[in-house]
A and B are shown apart, each in its own frame.
Chain A
Amino acid sequence: MDSNKKYWKGLEELNQTPAFVKESKSEFAEPIPVEDVLNEAGLSTRTPRRDFLKALGFGLGAVTLAACNRTPVHKAVPYVIKPEEITPGIPNYYASSFNGQSILVKTREGRPIFIEPNPNGVGLTQGTDATTVASVLDLYDMSKLQNPQLDGKDVEWSKLDSTVIAALNKAAQAGKQIAIVSTTVNSPSTLASIAKLTDKYPTTSLVQVDAVSYSGIIEANKNSFGKAVVPSYNFGKAQVVVSVAADFLGSWLSGEEHSQDFIKNRDYKSLKNGKMSRHIQFESGLSMTGSNADVRIAIKPSEEGAVLISLYNEITGQSVAGGTTNAKAQTAIKLVAKELVASKGAAVVVAGANDVNIQSLVNAINTQLGAYGAIIDLDNYSKQYQGSDSTFQQFLTAAKGGQVGVALFLNSNPVYNYFNSADVEEAIKKVDFTLSFADRKDETASLLKAIAPVPNYLESWGDASAKEGVYTVVQPTINPIYNTRQAEQSFLVWAGETTNIYDFVRQNWETNILAGTGKSWKEVLQAGYISKATAAGSAYSANVDVASVAAAIVADAKKIAGEVELKLYESTTLRDGRYANNAYLQELPDPVSKVTWDNYAAINPKFAEQLGLGENGKVTVEANGKSIELPVVLQPGQAMGTVSVAVGYGRTSVGKAGDNVGKNAYPLASLINGTVQFAAKASVSKASGTYELAQTQTHHTIEGRNIIRETTFAKYQKDPNSESGRFADSHKTYDLWNKYEQPGHKWVMAIDLNACTGCGSCIVACNVENNIPVVGRDEVRRRREMHWLRIDRYYTIEENGNKYSKENDIANVQDFENVTVVHQPMLCQHCEHAPCETVCPVLATVHSSEGLNHMAYNRCFGTRYCANNCPYKVRRFNWFNYWNDSRFDNYLNNEFTQLVLNPDVTTRSRGVMEKCSMCIQRIQAGKLTAKMENRKLVDGDVKMACQAACSANAIIFGDANDPESEVSKALRNERVYYVLEEINVQPNIGYMTKVRNTFEA
């Protein structure tokens, strides 16, 4: 209803006085003296007290109000259109493969965050090696190139393509070679795409070269059997294994797969059946494999051939000249030879040397032992290392002669990892057009004209064939993040093909691999692999002229024999150096020396004494006319007069984490007999200055404590309880604490010390799964690494039949060559009477009804009392804000790399304690899945990250309340003991005694 009533506010309005009328026009009753205040005079006047107080009051009020603002809330924005397969909070798994191993990639909301082995795969189905688990971090590496480059400048792909095609055409017209220099290519689709390029440009050739070469084996097999291949080995069938300098559980060929098979004859199940294989190792440096050997003899690199000649003589009864004169080795060889002969068909000898003659001799020995067909498979041979040192030599010669028009470097970085990088650089200069497919500006790529960066394997379509007849698929789990393009796609584009890579890979599979198998592409994507391998290889007989081979061995040995000999080796953590920018791998301690973030010269403590070196000393190692300065590690077990140095370090152009870590040892290698040799005559001299290596363990013996319990196989056979120290019923324990019921689950773990090889892939898996920060070299030096799970490694020195495991006794030892090693994974023991729980003042760490020791990060205020009171010292404190602090720029200090974080696990701020949670997020996920499926949780539903990564099945996790679970069965084993059980903390992790299958005197 309309109203025309008018209310007046005062008499002035009613009367409409002139003053009111005038004032009502302006907003303020009195004019605001803005002009007066803001003119110069106004600004320079003194502020009256009242104005000052007004301003102060307003300012304070305004600031207070502003400060009352709530903490900004970061809202997660839900999908507008949700992808069908993604449910937030539920991981998706995709089958893929890494280095030929069939894996499962765990993705969360479209981000790959964890790599697990494909349990239904082929070959290595149980566990992944450290590089595989760590590889997920490489996807989020900030150091990668974001665009293709030409002459060091970002360009469009089209520009790059036209340049490359012009160069290819020019080379083709000039009749010059087009070389694709690559590490081993076993991917069928890569090979097919290269074939397309070769069709277009017939002068194209593929030059395969591996930084760590197996040419010697390939050549030897070509001579012995007419098959130029590296065989595959099934150590699962071997009862006696003799390795001469082959780190076959670590970096040699396919270490992780070998471990999986090899340990099956040594773990608790095998022992339960009364069986255990015997492993004898001859080597110079203490390798991870050597640390697991039953008998280990330290020899010089130049003696490797001689040892094999002696072994051949003992086995065959012949007397080929050139056998070893090393007394210790001779005794061992006599015993070993008997064993080998006795277990013909289940015995194998492997050698690490990249030398045709040594490998030919090994072929002859293995033929005598009947290893071909039984253990060594030449039919389903390995395709992991096909590089040929001589082919690469030919390429270098051709390039230097100006015969190469275009060189394309694929996964290849010879400027860094070829022993003669000056030669490579010279060759590159003579090539008209050079291009690298590197994902970063590495040592080689930065010298080339163009870079066509490839995406990470987690962004790519592709495949691999690590073994003849076995094909694994690589499928992307995320869209390419940067403007990258797969090398295969580039080959196709340059060959004038328009097919995209997905169609190309699929067509290649459908026509060449799947044809006749009855399997579809979709099925392959689900399974991840297809195997057309024959069940077992057939028997072969080596055709070797032993006398002439032996003569050549003796002659070549003289070239490397010297007072001091150098042995280069591939470390189990960083491998050949291509993963050097992976912070997880850099901080993974070496399985034997426990050194992180550096390579070093390993020398025998006595030898060091002779050189006048102690801890933190430095040496200059000189070989083949080149020298590097390195910190020393006093390595028990190292042969006297030898020095071992790991390759793969000293990258200069790989990224923030890996640049200038250690020294590049590749230049110390040499070419003998057409193959790259990692052994050389050397000289070692004390260098000035000191250098403190970042070691995670600095005390190396058990001090005679019973934390490690070990026995021999002979004793075990007589009494399985041998040395386990069980006092089960003979000892009454008293208890101050209340007993709590654990009616649901009771999570426990069993660790088999006989299975653990110490490789450390569990540590990396734990890091990735639980967002454990990498802290860098300085913090490791300060003994602050954050690893929730570590592997303790203890030495026992044997001299004259006495075993020394105490520091004081070892001071008097003269011979440090004879050492036995044990690896003990150590993590939170989830004690039932946890000392940490009673002392926490704020109940931040408490026990669960499922037997777990929980850690409530939010409640922790960081007194560190719990860590002090932990007898196992497994608690880790966030001394700084490691995961997001500019001083810890190793990897996580940027939003991109933070995408690798597991969203199920909180990141910990500074001042908070953390430790193994028994992957509580995995337990919860397992319970939820079972609940959704309306069933009980069954054994095997929940796997710990460490367990998933362990190829030796050394870690068994499960529910102790289920008497049929694998862990319950394992813990009923006679070998089980609990570390520090005498202090009655009642740990929930049982260890099984270490059993050594030594020669009985």
Chain B
Amino acid sequence: MSSHNESILREPLMTGKDITYAQITDDILLPVENKPNKAWWIGFIVACVGASLWVISVGYTFWTGIGAWGLNKTVGWAWDITDFVWWVGIGHAGTLISAVLLLFRQNWRNSINRSAEAMTIFAVICAATYVVAHMGRPWLAYWIFPLPNQFGSLWVNFNSPLVWDAFAISTYFTVSLVFWYCGLLPDIASVRDRATGLRKRIYSIFSFGWNGSVKTWQRFEIVSLILAGISTPLVLSVHTIVSMDFATSVIPGWHTTIFPPYFVAGAIFSGFAMVQTLLLILRKVLNFEHYITMFHIEAMNKIIMVTGSIVGVAYLTELFIAWYSGSEYEMYAFANRVAGPYAWAYWAMMTCNVISPQLFWFKKIRTSIPISWVLSIVVNIGMWFERFVIIVTSLHRDYLPSSWAMFYPTWVDVGIFVGSIGLFFVLFLLFLRFLPGIAIAEVKLLLKSSSLQHKTKLVQEGAFPEDQVEFFRESLRKYDSVTEEEINALRKK
């Protein structure tokens, strides 16, 4: 693709010495083509335990009724919709990485898009379970769709944001799945080509007859671009519509025009945090340090910091507008968040979402793997509390004080949430076991342009002035995957 060389000022997107295309394929397919290691098994067993907790909790709910949860006449949604919005939000990073960054030609996405998209799909699956589970009569869940029916001239209520939600989520899921799968085709073909026997047969079915011809590649590129074009508005629309579940209501604390952008920013915030959580472990356990580099980690931390700041501004705006509106119900709703019985949740949210990402202003912190990992989890705890604060503290004290009530979760509420995390990891770990966790074909594109190996070669050839090379050397010091020796090799020979 590149007829001329990338600037040396740009940090490498791939590190390591003597990397060949075959080496990349070998590295990435290592977990797919070999028996899983101990770490995988431990993770998988723990996840399965979590998932079975989910099965038990959801099964118990279906058997006995929603009364198994802590909801009451005043608080009709609590952990269920909190968890739902949380998972949907987490899903956002995948689409943003795969679609928006593709359109903006951000090549660094190539190493992380696969896992991020997989995370999206599994997160949306987890979210969708709540859509069904929170219903009083889940066996009628299909009524949410405007299906032809024999009930007479019955139709859904197109005024209801829940109907919009059903469309938004299902569209989002479908498009994400197709996008992800299209991207997987060349990689599945690679697995197929290297496999034998039954494995080969299975992978050849799933590779859809990919033959690697130029025409195939050309179509692949076009489809990717088209799907990216379709997905990009979804990044904005899905959480916008989720936010409208609240924004179009009359409940103080919900009825807020700021919600759509605020929710989208929050979603990207939490999504990137989740990608960070997953990838930091992934790169270590699967030895992907050369592909998912410090550059990626730092870039994602910067996005977390920016979106976290947007979310923080939104929180403050909400408080200001509540005061500025002069509406007593509005003012009370926010005063109650800040100082009411659930103030601890509000301050947990403020600390985790507004204060903690500001730590990423420090380069030391944003390039530190353990701190990044901890903060990524802190962010998602904060985002869970954000949804809890919005949903529960708005509902529990609305207009008529006679109905004010507290919400206390039951073991089933907790079980479904913890269980859904288990479910997510079961899916994610199976994904890592059977499909390449990094887009092989896309990463290969970087080898001859953005890899350290390539840049070293150019430096040694003397393609760049020394001051720039010095800058480049300095920027490599943060990389945990680059040795001092490699840095010293960056000299004109």
A→B interface (CB under 8 Å)? 697-705, 707, 779, 782-785, 790, 792-794, 824, 826, 835, 838-843, 859-865, 867-869, 871-873, 875-881, 909-913, 979-980, 983, 985
7 contacts between A and B (CB under 8 A): A699-B401, A705-B328, A783-B73, A838-B157, A842-B144, A865-B77, A879-B67
**Cβ-defined partner of A782 (8 Å) among B72, B160, B398:** B72
CB pair B70 A782 closer than 8 Å? yes
Given known pairs A839-B160, A841-B144, A985-B250, the reply for A701 and B401 (CB within 8 Å) is: yes
**Cβ-defined partner of A881 (8 Å) among B65, B143, B162, B163:** B65
Given known pairs A867-B76, A985-B250, the reply for A880 and B160 (CB within 8 Å) is: no
Residues of A within 8 A of B67 (CB): 779, 784, 879-880, 910
B→A interface (CB under 8 Å)? 64-67, 70-74, 76-77, 134-138, 140-141, 143-144, 154-157, 159-163, 166, 245, 248-251, 328-329, 332, 395, 397-405
Residues of A within 8 A of B251 (CB): 868-869, 871
Given known pairs A707-B400, A868-B76, the reply for A879 and B328 (CB within 8 Å) is: no
* Complex Cα spacing A876 to B397, Å: 17
- Smallest beta-carbon distance B84→chain A, Å: 11
* Complex Cα spacing A701 to B404, Å: 11
Given known pairs A705-B328, A792-B400, A843-B155, the reply for A873 and B143 (CB within 8 Å) is: no
**Cβ-defined partner of B402 (8 Å) among A790, A877, A911:** A790
**Cβ-defined partner of A876 (8 Å) among B64, B73, B144, B329:** B73
Residues of B within 8 A of A705 (CB): 328-329, 399, 401
Given known pairs A840-B157, A841-B166, the reply for A699 and B404 (CB within 8 Å) is: yes
Sample of 10 further A-B pairs with CB below 8 A, known A794-B402, A843-B154, A861-B135: A784-B73, A841-B144, A861-B136, A861-B141, A864-B66, A867-B76, A868-B77, A875-B73, A910-B65, A979-B400
CB pair A862 B66 closer than 8 Å? yes
CB pair A863 B74 closer than 8 Å? no
* Complex Cα spacing A699 to B329, Å: 16
**Cβ-defined partner of B160 (8 Å) among A838, A878, A879:** A838
**Cβ-defined partner of A913 (8 Å) among B136, B156, B162:** B136
In the complex, number of A-B residue pairs with CB atoms less than 8 Å apart:
161
**Cβ-defined partner of B250 (8 Å) among A779, A835, A979:** A835
- Smallest beta-carbon distance B29→chain A, Å: 41
CB pair B401 A703 closer than 8 Å? yes
* Complex Cα spacing A979 to B400, Å: 9
Name the residue in B74, B245, B400 with the highest tally of chain A Cβ atoms < 10 Å from its Cβ: B400
Residues of B within 8 A of A840 (CB): 157, 160
* Complex Cα spacing A841 to B136, Å: 13
* Complex Cα spacing A698 to B406, Å: 10
Residues of A within 8 A of B403 (CB): 697, 872-873
Given known pairs A782-B70, A861-B135, A863-B162, the reply for A841 and B156 (CB within 8 Å) is: yes
Residues of A within 8 A of B144 (CB): 841-842, 861
CB pair B137 A862 closer than 8 Å? yes
CB pair B156 A843 closer than 8 Å? yes
Closest to B161 in A: A839
- Smallest beta-carbon distance B439→chain A, Å: 38
Closest to A783 in B: B72
Residues of B within 8 A of A697 (CB): 402-403
CB pair B76 A841 closer than 8 Å? no
CB pair B65 A861 closer than 8 Å? no
Closest to A868 in B: B76
CB pair B76 A912 closer than 8 Å? no
CB pair A879 B162 closer than 8 Å? no
CB pair B250 A862 closer than 8 Å? no
Name the residue in A783, A862, A909, A983 with the highest tally of chain B Cβ atoms < 10 Å from its Cβ: A783
**Cβ-defined partner of B401 (8 Å) among A702, A785, A841, A859:** A702
Residues of A within 8 A of B249 (CB): 835, 839, 868-869
* Complex Cα spacing A909 to B66, Å: 12
* Complex Cα spacing A859 to B135, Å: 13
- Smallest beta-carbon distance A987→chain B, Å: 12
* Complex Cα spacing A859 to B156, Å: 10
- Smallest beta-carbon distance A633→chain B, Å: 16
* Complex Cα spacing A779 to B70, Å: 10
CB pair B157 A912 closer than 8 Å? no
CB pair A863 B134 closer than 8 Å? yes
CB pair A879 B66 closer than 8 Å? yes
* Complex Cα spacing A493 to B274, Å: 85
Closest to A704 in B: B328
**Cβ-defined partner of A871 (8 Å) among B160, B397, B400:** B400
Which 6 A-B pairs have CB atoms at the shortest separation, nearest pair first? A862-B136, A911-B136, A879-B67, A792-B402, A864-B76, A783-B72
CB pair B76 A980 closer than 8 Å? no
* Complex Cα spacing A907 to B195, Å: 62
CB pair B248 A839 closer than 8 Å? yes
- Smallest beta-carbon distance B141→chain A, Å: 7
Name the residue in A707, A784, A842, A863 with the highest tally of chain B Cβ atoms < 10 Å from its Cβ: A863
CB pair B401 A980 closer than 8 Å? no
Closest to B340 in A: A807
* Complex Cα spacing A934 to B71, Å: 49
CB pair A872 B400 closer than 8 Å? yes
**Cβ-defined partner of A841 (8 Å) among B70, B163, B395:** B163
CB pair B332 A843 closer than 8 Å? no
CB pair A877 B157 closer than 8 Å? no
* Complex Cα spacing A869 to B134, Å: 16
- Smallest beta-carbon distance B316→chain A, Å: 23
Given known pairs A698-B405, A835-B250, A842-B156, the reply for A863 and B135 (CB within 8 Å) is: yes
Name the residue in B135, B332, B399 with the highest tally of chain A Cβ atoms < 10 Å from its Cβ: B399
- Smallest beta-carbon distance A648→chain B, Å: 25
* Complex Cα spacing A840 to B143, Å: 12
Residues of B within 8 A of A909 (CB): 137
Residues of A within 8 A of B405 (CB): 698, 783
Given known pairs A861-B143, A871-B398, A983-B250, the reply for A911 and B137 (CB within 8 Å) is: yes
- Smallest beta-carbon distance A814→chain B, Å: 23
CB pair B76 A880 closer than 8 Å? no
Closest to A985 in B: B250
CB pair B136 A864 closer than 8 Å? yes
Closest to B403 in A: A873
- Smallest beta-carbon distance B146→chain A, Å: 10
Residues of B within 8 A of A985 (CB): 250
Closest to A845 in B: B157
CB pair B399 A707 closer than 8 Å? yes
**Cβ-defined partner of A864 (8 Å) among B65, B77, B160, B329:** B77
CB pair B159 A871 closer than 8 Å? no
Residues of A within 8 A of B154 (CB): 843, 859
Residues of B within 8 A of A867 (CB): 73, 76
Residues of B within 8 A of A698 (CB): 404-405
* Complex Cα spacing A909 to B72, Å: 17
CB pair B398 A843 closer than 8 Å? no
Given known pairs A863-B135, A879-B66, A910-B136, the reply for A842 and B157 (CB within 8 Å) is: yes
* Complex Cα spacing A880 to B67, Å: 6
* Complex Cα spacing A544 to B136, Å: 68
CB pair A980 B399 closer than 8 Å? yes
Residues of B within 8 A of A880 (CB): 64-65, 67
Closest to B143 in A: A842
* Complex Cα spacing A869 to B400, Å: 13
* Complex Cα spacing A983 to B395, Å: 16
CB pair B136 A912 closer than 8 Å? yes
Residues of B within 8 A of A779 (CB): 67
- Smallest beta-carbon distance B322→chain A, Å: 15
- Smallest beta-carbon distance A250→chain B, Å: 21
Closest to B67 in A: A879
* Complex Cα spacing A843 to B140, Å: 14
CB pair A865 B402 closer than 8 Å? no
* Complex Cα spacing A703 to B329, Å: 10
- Smallest beta-carbon distance B133→chain A, Å: 11
- Smallest beta-carbon distance A679→chain B, Å: 32
* Complex Cα spacing A701 to B401, Å: 7
CB pair B160 A841 closer than 8 Å? yes
* Complex Cα spacing A316 to B393, Å: 59
